[in-house]
Amino acid sequence: MTGNLLNLAIWVPILAGLIVLATGGDQRAGLARWLALAGSLAGFLVTIPLYTQFDLTSAGMQFEVLAPWIESYNINYHLGVDGLSVLFVILNSFTTLLVVIAGWEVIKERVAQYMAAFLIMSGLINGAFAALDAILFYVFFEAMLIPMYLIIGVWGGPRRVYASIKFFLYTLMGSLLTLIAFIYLFMQTGSFEILAFYRVPLGMSAQVLLLVAFFFAFAVKVPMWPVHTWLPDAHVEAPTGGSMVLAAITLKLGAYGFLRFALPIAPDASREYAWVFVLLSLVAVVYIGAVALVQSDMKKLVAYSSISHMGFVTLGFFMFANGYLNQYAVVGAIALMVSHGFVSAAMFFCIGVMYDRVHSRKIADYGGVANKMPIFASFFMLFAMANAGLPGTAGFVGEFFVVLGAVQVNFWVAFAAASTLIFGAAYTLWMYKRVIFGEVANENVAELQDVNKREFLVLAILAVAVLGMGLYPKPLTDVTLQSVNHLIELAAQTKLQ
Amino acid sequence: MIPTSLNAWVATPEIFLLCSACIVLLFDLFVSESRKQVTYLLTLLVLALTAVLTIQSLQQGLMLAANGASPARYAFSNMYVADPVADFAKIGMVLGVALVLIYGRGYAQERGIFKGELFTLTLFSLLGMMVMASATNFLTLYVGLELLSLAIYALVAMPRNNVRSTEAAMKYFVLGALASGMLLYGLSMLYGATGSLDIYEVASRIIRGEANPMLVTFGTVFVVTGIGFKLGAVPFHMWVPDVYEGAPTLLAQLIGSAPKLAAFVFVLRLLGHGLAALGPDWGAMLIIMAVLSLVIGNLAAIAQKNIKRMLAYSTISHMGFVLLGFLVYNAVGYAASFFYVMTYVITAAASFGLLMLMSRSGFECENIDDFKGLNKRNPWYALMMLMVMFSMAGIPAFVGFFAKLSVLRALVGSGFTWLAIVAVVFSLIGAFYYLRVVKVMYFDEPEADAPVAVGNLDAQLILSANCLLLLALGVFPNQLLTALSYAVKLSMASAAGMMLQ
C-alpha cells in the first residue's frame, strides 16, 4: 500500500478531473461540484498517510515507485518524496480541496471544466513534487501550465488574455532551457535520474551554465526580481481559486526547484554565485515590499507581497557560511514556504469574498467593511497579521528562522532582510485599515452580507492551519530536518575534479 | 538485367498498389457520378490491403534482423530495397493517405471534387511515395519523386474553375519543376563524378577517393537545394504557404502529411547513406536551412490570420526541426528525425481533419477567427484542437514534446548545444501562435450561435481517435521510439554492408 501512495496522490485527482469533465455542460453543474468535492477530498485523504507514515529519521527518498517508462532513453517513472517535498504534496492536495469549496457557487459558467482543470492540475503538481526522474519532472512541470492557462484565460478578469499568455510564455521560456540542462546531464550520467545528477563530477563552467539554466526556470516560477512581472498580472486576472493555487503552490515549485536541482547539482557554482541570489532576493524583499505599499488594487498588493515573501525564501536557500548552508535559514525558508501557502491562499480567498460581493478589487472602493461583516473582518485580521509575520501566526516562524540564520552569516544581509517585517506590516495593515475600518464608505459596502457557511468553513480551516503552525511548528520542521541536513552536505561537496 | 536479381516479390506492396490503382481507374468509369461512394470504399480497401502487405514485409524484415541476417531485401538489381525503415515509413504513408480520404469525404462531396480522379491520383501519389521510400538508385528515386509530384500537381488543380486552386497548382508546379531540375542536375553531377547511379556504389567510390571531390561537392549543393524545395525549408519555402492556402484543404493535408515521410527516407538514403562521407559539408548547409526555417517559420506564423497559412509556416518550422535531427549525421539524429516526422504526420492529419470537418458547403473554415468561442459551441472539438495545438507547440503529455526532446537529445549528444538553444528559443516563439488558437477557442465569445458543422460520424470517430493518439503516444512513446530507432540502426548497418561489397 505505501508503495502506491504517491501514485494515488497523482492519479486520483487526475482521474477525478476526467470524470468531472465528462459530466459535460452546465445543466449538470451540481453533479460536477459534488464529484469535484469528492475527488478533491479523496485526493487529500490519500496524501495524509504520506505524513503519518513518514520516517523522520531518514534523509532518503520514501514511498518510492520505480518503473521503466521510456527504455530507449533510459527515462523512468520514478517517484519518491523526502522532507523537502512531502509537505508540498500534502499542502497542494489540501489547497485543491479548499479551491473546490471556494469556487462552489461563485463559478456559474462551465463549472465542470473549472473543477476538472483544478483537479487535473493538482495531480500534475503532485507529480512534479514527487518526480525523481528529470524528464518526468519536466513533463509534470510543463503540463500544469495548460490547466493554469485555461483557468486564467477562461474564468479570469478583463485583461485575462494578456495575463494568461504572458504567464504561459514566461514560464515556458524558463523551463525550456532547463530541458537542455537535463539533456546535458543525461549525456554525462547516462540516465535522467535526479539522484544520479547529484553524484556526477562537473567542471566549473558547466556548473555555471547549468545554474543559469536552472535560474531561468525556477527564478521565473518563484518569481525572483527581475523576472517577476508576470505574477501581478496573472494574480490580478486569475479567478480566486487560480490565485490561491498559484500563490500557495506553483510558486513553491520554483523554490523547490532550487533545493532539488540547483544546489545539489551545481554546488560549486551555487557557492560561488550565492551572492547573486542573495542580492536579487534582497531586492525582492525590499524593493518589491516598497512597491506593494503603493498598490491601489488589493490583489496586486498581495501579489507583490508574495514576491517579497518568496524573496525571503530564496534568501534562506543561499545563506552560505564557510561553504556550508545555514541550517536555520534553510529550515526557516521551507517553513515560510508552507506558511505562505496557507496565508497567501487565505488572503486571496478573503479578497475573493469581497470581490464576489462588490465586484471591485480597488482599495478605494471599500471602507468600513467591519461594520457590515464582523466575522469576516476578524478572520481577515488574523490572516493580515500572519502576512505581516506576527508572532503566534504561521508567518512568524519562517521569517524568524531565516533572519536568525542570516544574522549568523552576515549581519547586514539580515538587517536588510528584516526590513520585510516593517514593510510587510506596513502594506498589509495599511490596506486592512483602509478596507475594513472607518465609516461605511459607500452604498455597496452598506449592502454587504457577512460570510455564509461555505465561506466560513474555508476561513475557519485556514485559520486553524495558520494558528496551529504558528503556535506549534515542530511537526513541520521535524519532517524537513533530516533532508535539510542531507542537502547541506550535498551543497557543501565539491564536484570539481 | 539478370533474371535472378529481379526478385520482384520483394516489391509486392507496390506492385499490388499499382495494379489496384489501375483497376480503380477502370472500375470508376462504370460508376455513376452519384455513386462515387463505391469507388471511395474500394480505394479504402486497396489502402487497407496495401497496409497489410507492407506490415507483412516489415515482419519479414524484423524476423531476418532477429536471426542476425540483414533485413534489407533488394530487388530489380539493387534498384529497390525493402527494409524496416522503408516499411515503417510506408505504413505511416498509407495511414496518412487514408486519413486524407476519410476526413475529406464530406468536404470533397460538397465541393464537387469527389470524383474518380481524386482516388486514382491519390493512389498514384502514394505509389510514388512508396517507391521513393524504397529507392536505392538515383533513377528509382527520381521516378518515385516525379510520380508523387505529378499526381499532386494535377490534384491541386482539380477545382479547375477556382482561381485560388489553379494559382496554387501553377505555383506548385513551376517551383516543383524547378526543384526537380535542381535535384536532377545534382544527381547527374554525382553520376559524372562517380560513374554510378547506385547510392551505395556512389558512397563507396566517394569514400575510396575515386571521385572528383569538387564535382561531388557541387553535386551535393544542388541535391541539398532540391531537398530543401521538397521539404519546404527556408530559403526554398516560398511555395508552401501559397499552396496550403490555395489548395482545397483536403489536398493541403495530402501535401502536408504523408509525403514528408517519403522525403525523410529519401533524405536518409541520399544524404545519410549515399553522401555519408560528406556529412560535415551538407551538415553545415542543413544548419543554415534549419535555423532559417525555425526563424522564418515561427516568426511569419505569428502574423497569419488564415489558419491554413499559419499551419504552412508551422510546417516550415517543423521541417527545421527535422533538419536539425539530420545535421548531426549519425543514427541517433536520423532516428530522432524519423520519430519527429512520423508524429508530425499524425498531428498534421488531425489539424487539417478538424478544419475539413468544421467546413460545410459554402463555408470554408480557414480563418483563425472561425474558431472563436468553439469551446461554447462544441467543447469536444475545442478539446481536440487544443491537443493538436499543444502537441505542435511541444508541451508535454503530448507526443510533440517527445519529438522535440529526441531531436534536442541528438543535438546535445553531438555537441551542437548552441543549436539546441536556438531551437528551444524559437519553439518558445512558436508556442505563442499555437496558444493564440487556444485563446480564440476558449477565451473569446462565439460570433455566431449556429451549431458547428461536425462532419460525418465515421470521420468524427476516427478524428477523435487520431487526437487521442497524440496524448496516448505522449504518455507511452517508448514503443514507437524504440521501433523507429531500431529500424534506422538496421538501415545504417545494411547500408554500411552494401558499401563494403
Please give, one letter per residue, the 3-state secondary structure of A85-107: CHHHHHHHHHHHHHHHHHCCCCC
Q: Which three cell numbers stand for residue A225?
A: 526580481
Radius of gyration of chain A (CA): 21
Q: Which tops the pLDDT comparison, A1 or B128?
A: B128
Question: What digits encode the pLDDT tens for the residues B342-396?
Answer: 999 999 999 999 888 888 766 777 888 888 888 888 888 888 999 999 999 988 8
Average pLDDT value for chain A = 86
Cis peptide before A264 (omega within 30 of 0): no
Q: Which residues in B lie closer than 8 A to residue A173 (C-beta atoms)? A: 428
Nearest-Cα residue of chain B relative to residue A145: B395
Q: B451 phi and psi, to 5 degrees?
A: -60, 150
pLDDT of residue B361: 65
Q: What nine digits make up the cell of A219?
A: 527564478
Q: What is the pLDDT of residue A478?
A: 86
Provide DSSP, A115-169. HHHHHHHHHHHHHHHHB-BHHHHHHHHHHTHHHHHHHHHHH--TTHHHHHHHHHH
A183 touching chain B per CB within 8 A: yes
Provide the pLDDT for residue B2. 43
- A209 to chain B: closest CA residue: B417
Taking the C-alpha atoms of residue B497 and residue A283, their distance in angstroms, rounded to an integer, is 64
Question: Mutation test of the interface with chain B: which of A180, A185, A186, choosing the one with the most B Cβ atoms within 10 A?
Answer: A180
pLDDT of residue A390: 81
Tell me phi and psi for residue A320, to 5 degrees: -90, 135
- Predicted pLDDT of residue A320: 83
- DSSP secondary structure code for residue A84 in this structure: T
Average pLDDT over residues A67-83: 87
Give the 3-state secondary structure of residue A77. strand
pLDDT value of residue B98: 93
Longest dimension (CA), chain A: 71
- Indicate the helix (H) or strand (E) that contains A62: strand A62-70
Q: Does B407 touch chain A (CB under 8 A)?
A: no
Q: Does A11 touch chain B (CB under 8 A)?
A: no
Distance from CA of B480 to the nearest CA of A (A): 10
Name the residue among A350, A358, A338 with its Cα closest to residue A378: A350
Q: Is A150 on the interface with B (CB under 8 A)?
A: yes
Chain A contact for B409 (CB, 8 A cutoff): yes
pLDDT at A35: 86
Q: Which residues pair with A70 in a beta bridge?
A: A75
Which residues, 6 or more positions from B303, have their beta carbon under 8 angstroms from its beta carbon? Answer: none
* Closest by Cα among A125, A117, A229, A132 to A173: A229
Q: Which of A72, A142, A161 is the closest to B481 by Cβ?
A: A72
The whole-angstrom distance between residue B325's C-alpha and the CA centroid of its chain comes to: 15
The answer on pLDDT for A491 being more than 90 is: no
Residue A57 C-alpha, separation from nearest chain B C-alpha, in angstroms: 36
Pairing of strands A324-325, B73-75: unpaired
pLDDT, tens digit, for every residue of A300-355?
A: 888 898 888 888 889 888 888 877 888 888 888 898 888 888 888 898 888 888 88
Cell numbers linked to A204? 566549473
Q: What is the pLDDT of residues B12-70, one digit of tens each?
A: 899 999 999 999 999 988 888 888 888 999 999 999 999 999 999 999 999 988 888 88
Closest CB from B406, B421, B439 relative to A165: B439
Which chain B residues contact residue A164 at CB under 8 A?
A: 439, 443
Residue A154 and residue B443: Cβ atoms within 8 Å?
yes
According to the model, what pLDDT value does residue A423 have? 85
Question: Which among A352, A360, A368, A355 is positioned nearest to A435, based on CA atoms?
Answer: A368
Query: Residue B185's Cα: distance from chain center in Å?
Result: 24
Work out the number of other CB atoms within 10 angstroms of the CB of residue A104.
Answer: 18
What is the residue type of A461? Answer: I
Tell me how far apart the alpha carbons of residues B264 and B285 are, in angstroms, rounded to a whole number: 17
A contact test, residue of B374, B478, B482, B488 with most A CBs within 10 A: B478
Tell me the Cα Rg of chain B.
22
Contact status, residue A318 vs residue A272, Cβ threshold 8 Å? no
Residues of A in contact with B431 (CB under 8 A): 168-169, 172
Residue of B nearest to A179 (CA): B405
Nearest CA in chain B to A138: B396
Structural domain total, chain B? 1
User: What pLDDT, on the 0 to 100 scale, is given for residue B370?
Assistant: 82
Residue-number span of the structural domain to which B466 is assigned? 4-500
Q: Which of residues 93-132 of A touch B (CB under 8 A)?
A: 110, 113
Length of chain B: 501
Mean pLDDT of each 10-residue bin along chain B, 501 residues long: 66 92 90 86 93 92 88 86 91 93 88 86 94 92 92 88 87 90 92 90 88 89 90 87 88 90 91 86 90 92 89 92 90 92 92 86 77 83 90 89 91 89 89 88 78 78 90 89 90 84 69
Three-state DSSP at A81 gives strand
HSE at residue B397, side-chain half, CA atoms within 13 A, is: 20
Interchain CB distance below 8 Å, A143 and B397: yes
User: What pLDDT was estimated at residue B159?
Assistant: 84
Tell me which residue of A351, A341, A403 sits closest to A236, measured CA to CA. A351
B355 neighbors B366 (Cβ within 8 angstroms)? yes
The answer, yes or no, to whether residue A462 has pLDDT greater than 80, is: yes
Q: Is B436 on the interface with A (CB under 8 A)?
A: yes
Q: State how far the Cα of B496 lies from the Cα of B501, in Å rounded to an integer.
A: 9
State residue B3's pLDDT score.
Answer: 44
CB count, 10 Å around CB of B30?
8
Q: Report the alpha-carbon distance of residue A362 to residue A373 in Å, rounded.
A: 18
Q: At residue B310, what is the residue type?
A: M
A180 vs B395, B420, B478: nearest CB: B420
Is 60 exceeded by the pLDDT of residue A1? Answer: no
B406: which chain A residues are within 8 Å (Cβ-Cβ)?
A: 73
User: Which cell is B21 given?
Assistant: 490503382
At residue B4, the pLDDT reads: 52
Whether residue A143 and residue B431 make contact (CB cut-off 8 A), yes or no, is no
Calpha distance B483→B489 (Å, rounded): 10
Q: Hey, which residues does A325 pair with through a beta bridge?
A: A320
Residues of B in contact with A165 (CB under 8 A): 432, 435-436, 439
The residues near A44 (Cβ < 8 Å, ≥ 6 apart) are A90, A93, A94, A96, A97
Which DSSP state fits A228? -
Do A169 and B431 form a contact (C-beta atoms < 8 A)? yes
- Residue type at A486? H
From chain B, pick out residues whose CB is under 8 angstroms from the CB of A73. Answer: 405-406, 409, 481
Contact status, residue A377 vs residue A266, Cβ threshold 8 Å: no
Q: How confident is the model at residue B451, as a pLDDT?
A: 66
Cα of B355 vs its chain's centroid, Å: 19
Average pLDDT over residues A408-429: 84
B439 touches chain A (CB under 8 A): yes
C-alpha cell at A389: 509575520
Question: Would you state the pLDDT for residue B1?
Answer: 38
Q: Inspect the interface and report whether the beta carbons of B409 and A176 lie closer than 8 Å.
A: no
CB spacing of A180 vs B401 below 8 angstroms: no
Neighbours of A57 (CB within 10 A): 6
**CB B377, CB B299: distance < 8 Å:** no
Q: H-helix or E-strand containing B106?
A: helix B84-110
pLDDT of residue B265: 92
DSSP B370-392: GGTTHHHH-HHHHHHHHHHHHHH
Percent of chain A at pLDDT exceeding 90: 6
Pairwise CA distance, residues B357 & B102, whole Å: 10
